[in-house]
Amino acid sequence: MALIDLANPTRFLRLVQRVLPWLIAATVVLFVIGLYQSVNAPDDYQQGATVKIMYLHVPSAWLGMMGWALMSAAALGTLVWRHPLADVAGKAAAPIGAAFTFICLVTGSLWGRPTWGTYWVWDARLTSMLVLLLLYLGVMALYWTAEDPGRGSRAAAVLTLVGALNLPIIKFSVDWWNTLHQTESIFRMGGPTIAPSILWPLVVMTLAFTCLFVTLHLMAMRNEILRRRVRTMQLMQAQALAEASA
């Protein structure tokens, strides 16, 4: 099925109906395997059991960033090809991406407490994730304030693309700022590679969370399409009432 065929919302909804049970099943299976593996994964010799926060933290960080990439692709679809589904995809992705970014920040600070001794440091990675969350909230505010869904989605698409240009700059500037002011390096994932016994559960958990993201995204897109239909029907009803009384 070509991408343009999905411009018909009914066809898209039918596809979602067919795909969704499989996706949910895949998500559940992956989570069962991933959680079992991560519970049984060995503790870190230094951090003890707290290293298991990683199985929640790393996938959410990845999905927080993937969410913005998806929204940028959707923004191009909205502005360049005027694909009717693209703005639905962008709007549906924003709260999910923001939620994963938030989970990443919360788990990160909970992990930071026992390992670094503090909940929050103005470290480069933390700060750039926080800015990402702020940008997500800005896009959501933009969708929220628009009276007309079409106009709001085009405005949000412009902002998403500007944000996509700016995110690497922000990331890089924050890195630079950090190295200037902070000599102590706290967070080094590189260096010694992760042992396979810890790495494999992480891979499975990342896949599981990605499946969860896709499932939630498709469901949110379905809800958005239905919400817009309800809105159109309400508008038509109001118009009919106004004509009847006139």
Partner 1 sequence: MTAFTSLLARDMRIAVRVGGGALMGALFFLTVVVMMPFALGPDLALLARIGPAILWLGALLASLLALDRLFATDHEDGSLDLLMMGRMPLELAIAGKGLAHWLTTGLPLVVISPVLGLMLNIEARAMGAVALTLAVGTPALTFIGLVGAGLSVALRRGGLLLAVLVLPLTIPVLIFGVAAANAAIIGGVPFGPPFTILCALSLASLVIGPIAAAAALRFGLE
Nearest by Cα to 138 from 162, 104, 120, 105: 162
246 contacts partner 1 (rule: CB under 8 A): no
Member of 141, 199, 230, 236 binding partner 1 (CB under 8 A): 141
Q: Which is nearer to partner 1, 94 or 131 (CB)?
A: 131
161 contacts partner 1 (rule: CB under 8 A): yes
First to last CA, the chain: 47
- The neighbouring-strand residues paired with 44 are 48
Number of H helices, E strands in the chain: 6, 0
At 48, give phi and psi (nearest 5°). Answer: 70, -145
Member of 19, 29, 32, 134 binding partner 1 (CB under 8 A): 134
Q: Which helix (H) or strand (E) holds 49?
A: none
149 contacts partner 1 (rule: CB under 8 A): no
In the stretch 221-240, what mask flags binding to partner 1 with x, by CB under 8 A?
--------------------
19 contacts partner 1 (rule: CB under 8 A): no
Using CB under 8 A as the binding rule, the residues of this chain from 175 to 214 that contact partner 1 are 176-177, 180
3-state secondary structure 151-179: HHHHHHHHHHHHHHHHHHHHHHHHHHHHH
DSSP structural state of residue 43: P
Q: Which is nearer to partner 1, 72 or 215 (CB)?
A: 72
Sign of CA dihedral 101, 103, 108, 113: positive
DSSP helix/strand/coil, 42: coil
Q: How many residues are present in the chain? A: 246
142 contacts partner 1 (rule: CB under 8 A): yes
Size of the residue set binding partner 1 (CB under 8 A): 31
79 contacts partner 1 (rule: CB under 8 A): yes
Residue 116 CB, shortest distance to partner 1, in Å, is 23
CB atoms within 10 A of CB 38: 19
In this structure, what token pair is assigned to residue 235?
A: 């508008």
Q: Which is nearer to partner 1, 132 or 208 (CB)?
A: 132
Member of 166, 197, 232, 234 binding partner 1 (CB under 8 A): 166
Member of 135, 204, 205, 218 binding partner 1 (CB under 8 A): 135
User: Residue numbers of the site for partner 1 (CB under 8 A)?
Assistant: 79, 131, 134-135, 137-138, 141-142, 145-147, 151-152, 154-155, 157-159, 161-163, 165-166, 169-170, 172-174, 176-177, 180
